[in-house]
Amino acid sequence: MKRLFYLLVLVICAACASKAPTDTQLQDLCRNVGFAVAGVEDEAQKKATFLEMMQKGSKEFDIYKITPQQIDLMFNDGGLALDGMLREWFVPVLEKKSQSRGEEGLLFTFYRWKYLPDTYGHEEVYWNAYKALLFHPDFREWFAKHEDYAKDIIIGAARVGGDQWVDLGVFDGITGLLKNPLPASAVFSSMDVFNTAFVSKKLSAEQKNEIRELVLGQYEALLGTERYATGRRREKVDEGIRYLESPYATGTLVGNTAPELDFIWISGGKEKSLADFQGKVVVLDFWATKCGPCIETFPHMRELREHYAAYPVEIVGVTSIMGYHVDSKNGKFISTDGKPEYEMDLMKGFMKDMGMTWRVAFSRQWVMNPDYGVLGIPHLTVLDADGKVRYNGIELSDLPACIDRLLKEKGMPVPGKTIDWELK
């Protein structure tokens, strides 16, 4: 009903005028509507005010004669305050204009997808709009010539998700995007395309690797440009390449010997690497003092440590030198930039204050470790007694069962009772 109401408003407006809108008219319209709704708090009243102002303001022109460039102009001038209402208001216009032929029709197809109203709970609307864009007969040639649209479209591929690529039959379209030279902003966004492909349950290993190689090629191409040849920009590209070539990204992490972790400090012992834990099931918990979700897991980690205290299980909270320390107990941020020894010394007090009964280690490798696919923390990895990665990126609630399974596998003793955090 709501969209039908918007459609009726637009039909009335179109009948009242036959001239195409000018940029100035559209800018004035957005400005006037913005002022009108700015002081309205009630959402229903705000929408009613928006509709009334849009109806009055657009009587002098036919909104159906708007150009693709003017679509962007209205959203830019309307800003966040009008964004949602403009998306709803433009639905019938973009539906009709996307049927136009040639590049103009393609551009309206692009904007029809880009400026869709909120599709939460109706994601198939978004997926189908994206598919219509990819399958437009002029899309490939247009995409290759218009780098300024590339980032949005690459982000869209990641948002659609790898499973839907299969369901929609657009996998070849996605790989086609990645075969074109991309601007740097789109290259960095293409990492999300790989990540969504990697976790897909419907893409084959060969398809995932094809996406990985295409994204890797995009990163490597940046190294040939002057802007990304040196400095921090070069480091950012190198980080992406290391990740795409890592055991995690190549699918060789689980089931093989754990990638090296060199410990420059560890609590309660003198271990220097993972090899020193041989013969034990090892839980690696990647974390940092600034990470609130990490700290929220501490009660569970204490329980886990107590539960397996008499068994060949080691829990190691892995972090790295950050250049700062967050004192959660006292709510203080402490700069340790250039003072790694100070940062490691502060950890002793942090562990006492936070009741950390398990081991904590600073690794020479960064905590957001590409080898283990640490894209966010906390991140849990479990090694078996032979030092092989058996579980990676698992949920906290699955941790006890994974540990018990690996103990039983080696004929090692297992606690008589189990932990089931899902029941708590």
pLDDT for 359-368, tens place per residue?
999 999 999 9
Residue 422 has pLDDT above 60, yes or no: yes
Q: For 390-401, what is the mean pLDDT?
A: 95
In the predicted structure, residue 3 carries a pLDDT above the cut 70: no
- Cα–Cα distance, 274 to 282 (Å, whole number): 9
**Does 11 have pLDDT greater than 80?**
no
- Calculate helix-pair angle for 184-198, 205-222, nearest 10 degrees: 160
Please spell the DSSP secondary structure of 405-423, one letter per residue.
HHHHHTT----SS---GGG
* Average pLDDT, rounded, for the chain: 92
* SS3 category, 316: strand
User: In sequence order, which ranges of 199-273 are alpha helices (DSSP H)?
Assistant: 205-222, 231-244
* Predicted structure pTM score: 0.83
Residue with tokens 């906390």: 378
- Cα–Cα distance for residue pair 377/367, rounded to 1 Å: 9
CA 104 to chain CA mean position, Å = 31
- Write down the pLDDT at residue 338: 94
Comparing 109 with 10, which gets the higher pLDDT?
109
The span from the first CA to the last CA of the chain, in angstroms, equals: 44
pLDDT surpassing 70 at residue 356: yes
Report the pLDDT averaged over residues 2-6: 49
CA distance 117 to 111: 11
**pLDDT band for position 423 (cuts 50, 70, 90):** very low
pLDDT score of 23: 94
Exposed / middle / buried, residue 217 (Cβ in 10 Å: 0-12, 13-18, 19+): middle
Q: Is the pLDDT of residue 2 over 90?
A: no
Q: Helices 43-57 and 68-97 sit at what angle, rounded to 10 degrees?
A: 100
Does residue 6 sit in helix, strand or coil?
helix
